[in-house]
Amino acid sequence: MVRSGRYTRLNVYLLILSVLQLNLHTVEGVWPLPQAFTSSTERYPLNPQAFYFGYGRQSAAQQGCSVLDSAFRRYFSLIFPDYTDGVDALSNLLPVCVLDNLSVSAGQASLKAETVWGALRGDYNQYILKDMYKQRVNKSYFINKTEIEDFPRFQFRGILLDTSRHYLPVQAILKTLDAMAYSKFNVFHWHIVDDPSFPYQSSSFPDLSSKGAFHPMTHIYTQSDVRRVISHARLWGIRVLPEFDSPGHTTSWGKGQPGLLTPCYNGGTPSGTFGPVNPALPSTYQFMARLFKEVSSVFPDSYIHLGGDEVDFSCWKSNPDVRAFMQKMGFGSDFTKLEAFYMENIVNITSALNKTSIVWQDVFDYHERIPKDTVLHIWKGIPAKYQEELSRITKAGMRVLLAAPWYINHISYGQDWRNYYTVQPQNFSGTEEQKKLVIGGEVCMWGEYVDATNLSPRLWPRASAAAERLWSDEKQTSNVDKAFPRLQDFRCKLLRRGIQAEPLYVGHCKHEYQGV
């Protein structure tokens, strides 16, 4: 499911990295936990003025790779948060993509990866940063010898943001992408439209946003805004997965597209209200084909999320034209067959555009005929229920994403991150082959009670608990109490990087009194 090649196993060797003055275990503060991590007390000085990135002679990529050219410019201020004199000299640094040597004062470091994305996620900045945040003596940095081998457990590690229930300014989305990268999330699931508003500005159907957004000028995402988000995400190694959910969750669509939604009836007369998209009209599929053709060109990812959840059948049942269509098609009074008919047509439209579909689990539950490469997204239920669903979907040979235990918009008093941390995505009844069909998971931040004022503290560092579950070895990260000090330290690191992450419990961050 990964654009620009798979996230294959990568080997990262960081020699002489991570500042250390106190005899502390070096893994503290590194999040998510690497697959293998060893460190010695041998240490060397690191001079910011002499620090540079150098090309390895055998590197497949050289200067001009925009992803890591940009990354290395970011990393300088992350690696040396208290050093500003050298920032203007960044143009003299040598940016690299897949590097063999990192020249660091008295020593050197090397990072080896199979892809540019692996090099980007090698995350040398975190290993260097770890103790730099803790100790700085006379503006001198010290680094210790470290070796890491790391690779992700799951290929899909996503965050969903809902920009329909509350509009999120582009800057809030970009800041979330930054924070996602720090926790090694790699998919931004953009639930861009829904019942309350339609903020996506379509060039083919401009009335969708001009009449369906909260405000036609201020609360929309222009084509330029979307390109900006996609470009920013790419530089962080993050894919942008758009979702245009239908046939339900489409109230806002109807404001700008007359005839799209189903008229509801009260007895034998129209009630003046509307329900889901009308699946009985040819014009519906003509509209959808045109809209998804545009969406497919605006969002380059090879996957698209088509929704398909929570369809209320009551309006369809009330409409005489819909009932007549069902009889004509031989559906009888089974409205799940009508939804299946609709979703199969939408999936075929996007398949013709060379897009692979992701749909919510409802589509599978209604026994809809969809391509075998469609990904099912589990969102319902307590552990026993979603484990049963994992077993059923994978037994049918379908790939699956797990979101049900990570609806992080639900809040409770105390350390609820512990619940997110102890999720076991492959703990269900099934063969090893079935468990391989679980390709990852997703943290969902639905927007009923979330806007730009509380997005970051509600999301971070709670989402980071799921991030480690999706990246790290489950056996090595099974102890919540042992994870707590690392996550607490990582939360402080997020604050230093400008992410307003809420506290996990009583305490403080050491940088709060630096300079006092």
**SS3 state of residue 516:** coil
In 3D space, the residue among 227, 253, 258 whose CA is nearest the CA of residue 242 turns out to be 227
The CA–CA distances, whole Å, from 214 to 252, 295, 433, 439, 467 equal 10, 21, 46, 36, 33
- Tokens 């390109």 correspond to 227
**SS3 state of residue 437:** coil
In 3D space, the residue among 79, 87, 76, 90 whose CA is nearest the CA of residue 17 turns out to be 79
Which residues on adjacent β-strands are paired with residue 407? 444
Beta pairing class for 356-360 and 261-266: unpaired
Beta pairing class for 356-360 and 375-378: parallel
Longest dimension (CA), the chain: 85
**CA–CA gap between residue 117 and residue 68 (Å, rounded):** 9
Q: Residues near 365 by Cβ (< 8 Å), separated by ≥ 6? A: none
**CA–CA gap between residue 337 and residue 335 (Å, rounded):** 5
Checking 230-233 for CB contacts under 8 A at 24+ apart, the result is 230/299, 230/300, 232/174, 232/177, 233/177, 233/188
Concerning whether 468 is annotated as a catalytic residue, the answer is no
Catalytic residue among 42, 310, 388, 433: 310
The alpha carbon of 422 is separated from its chain's Cα centroid by a whole number of angstroms, namely 20
The alpha carbon of 212 is separated from its chain's Cα centroid by a whole number of angstroms, namely 26
**CA–CA gap between residue 479 and residue 473 (Å, rounded):** 12
Cis status, amide bond into 32, omega within 30 of 0: yes
Q: Which two tokens stand for residue 236?
A: 């962080």
- Tokens 């900006």 correspond to 228
In 3D space, the residue among 441, 356, 359 whose CA is nearest the CA of residue 401 turns out to be 441
**CA–CA gap between residue 492 and residue 500 (Å, rounded):** 10
Catalytic residue numbers? 310
